[in-house]
A = this chain, B = another copy of it.
């Protein structure tokens, strides 16, 4: 789930997508514009429309790319060979990276509030993304509990949904207050899941 498969100077199309995602996570979908992207990129907004005709196309592409990254990432041998609690740590690391970059919010946390104002295609993609992520985490939790290295009550699916919404909410808290608030919640999560 790294953020730049391209190492240096990606093509315009990709640079647009990168910047759009950054703006989306910083300001929300309704509060960023083609002009913002154009200005930062040093081109005119008509050029953006050439690559992504409508804002719906652009928004949908952002979520789709994230889904692809997730599904590639979760199949990587480097990940699947890890123990469940290490896989969980690897997932945590993704959220910590969100926090460290000035974005401080995940896609779900950015789009959920405005959800009803989003184009249908974006709503669909976001539903798929969260479903896939929950599914993945539920598997990790279940395996971890079976191995005795993770502890929680109830069903893996319920716990996975709870953990993910907590992480999304914690990033939002960091944005409203500061990093400390995130770590407070984050450490509480770990305290409960990784006993010893």
A: residues with CB less than 8 A from B are 26-28, 30-31, 105, 108-117, 123, 126-127, 130-131, 153-154, 157-159, 161-162, 164-166, 168-170, 172-173, 175-177, 181, 184-185, 187-189, 191-192
Contact = CB atoms under 8 A, between A and B. Distances in A.
* Main SS class of interface, A: helix
Contact of A116 (B116, B175, B185): B175
A120 to B, nearest CB: 13
Contacts of A110: 113
A27 B114 CA distance: 5
B176 A28 contact: no
B175 A166 contact: no
A123 B110 CA distance: 17
Contacts of A108: 172, 176
